[in-house]
Homo-oligomer: A and B are copies of this chain.
Amino acid sequence: MTRLVRPGGSPPTPRSVDVARLAGVSQKTVSRVLNDEPYVSADLRRRVLDAAEELGYRRNQAARALASGRTRSIGVVTLGSALYGPASWLMGIERAVRKMGYTLRVATTIEGDPGGIASALASLLDQGVDGVVISEPIDEGVGIISVDVPVLVLGAPPTFTAPQVVTARVGAGRLARAATEHLLELGHATVHHLAGPQRWYSARDRLAGWREALRAHGADEPPVVEGDWSAASGYAAGRELAGDGTVTAVFAANDDMAIGLIRAQLEAGRRMPEDISVVGFDDIPVAAYVTPPLTTLRQPFDAVARQGLALLVQVIEKPGVELPPAADPPVELVVRASTAPPPPRPIPEQGRRATPHPHGGPHGQPAGSEVPSTRP
């Protein structure tokens, strides 16, 4: 079938029997060697490998899958957009999948397509994947989906019925809490939240983390504004909030919305961060270079993907074994110039700490000067 062609035409692709013949062993021995099974002498192993090398032999995966009932592939259901978060997850998953010796199949969904996850899943199951990863899941309201292979859900509740459902916690809640606390500790009386669409579990997590932090600090909980992840929705929210003079700090559920919000504030004549502080979420590539450079949170995409896939593969290969709870990766808050203490003027009833902006003006802290501070 499909393999690298050797120079000088295309002789018929070799089979394992050909390798066996050349090595002077049985076909089964070839299979043993190639699968790293025990009970093969070093000598035969060498001869088989040499013969395989010489012929340019590669195993036929279709035949392997048919005979063994396993495809050694993992499917991922992901949103079909180039949004930074979903795309980063996908890349992290690919690396992790490959590291575990599996290959990756992808099926995308479209935002707003009801049943999209179910049909993407069906497509992957048709292809015979050994396990499935649901990245950035959305609550479609379609109830429980049944799948007969193990499922890894990145940061969401188990709405799947499967041999095993494992979850890798993204820690979005902890990150959101850290962001909110950062602002509270700067002296803001409270922090507004520009949330992501609440059909997304990750958006819910962030909102929950924000709420927890406010409660823990005894701060008022202002009404939540909900966006759709886009900078446009952040801009709209920014115009809305610009009318409210009491707003001094906003935690946006992603950087795009934060940037839209900042733009609206600047147009409304607000100074950033002297009048309003903003924290984003994701640390998109341009976050350090917008004006003002954005304080934001980094998600540990690769670490979580690796962790989750290790679990998934373990469940696939050794069903029934008890799983150790995965350790949460550290929270990374990247402090840049978009956050500062609140303005001294509108001290309503809480005026502790009023030192003016230690972070420099809106043009402070450009390239490379971000301070990745890890908070527990």
Contact = CB atoms under 8 A, between A and B. Distances in A.
Interface of A: 1-5, 7, 10, 58-63, 65-66, 69, 71, 73, 80-84, 87-88, 90-91, 94-95, 98, 103-108, 122-123, 125-130, 146-149, 161, 230-232, 234-236, 255-256, 259-260, 262-264, 266-267, 284-286, 288-291, 363, 366-368
A273 to B, nearest CB: 15
B285 A290 contact: no
Nearest to A121: B4
Given A82-B91, A94-B106, A289-B231, A4 B122 contact: yes
Nearest to A282: B82
A83 to B, nearest CB: 7
Which of A10, A73, A146, A263 has the most chain B CB within a 10 Å cutoff?
A: A263
Contact of A285 (B231, B262, B263): B231
A256 to B, nearest CB: 5
Contact of A1 (B69, B87, B284, B286): B69
Which of A125, A161, A236, A368 has the most chain B CB within a 10 Å cutoff?
A: A125
B123 A108 contact: no
A365 to B, nearest CB: 11
Nearest to A80: B91
B235 A289 contact: yes
Contacts of A127: 2, 61, 73, 103
Give 8 closest A-B pairs by Cβ, nearest first.
Answer: A62-B65, A87-B87, A82-B87, A62-B66, A82-B88, A231-B289, A5-B148, A235-B367
A368 to B, nearest CB: 7
A117 to B, nearest CB: 13
Contact of A91 (B63, B81, B260, B285): B81
B3 A125 contact: yes
Contact of A84 (B4, B82, B104): B82
Contact of A128 (B62, B94, B263): B62
B105 A290 contact: no
A101 B5 CA distance: 27
A367 B232 contact: yes
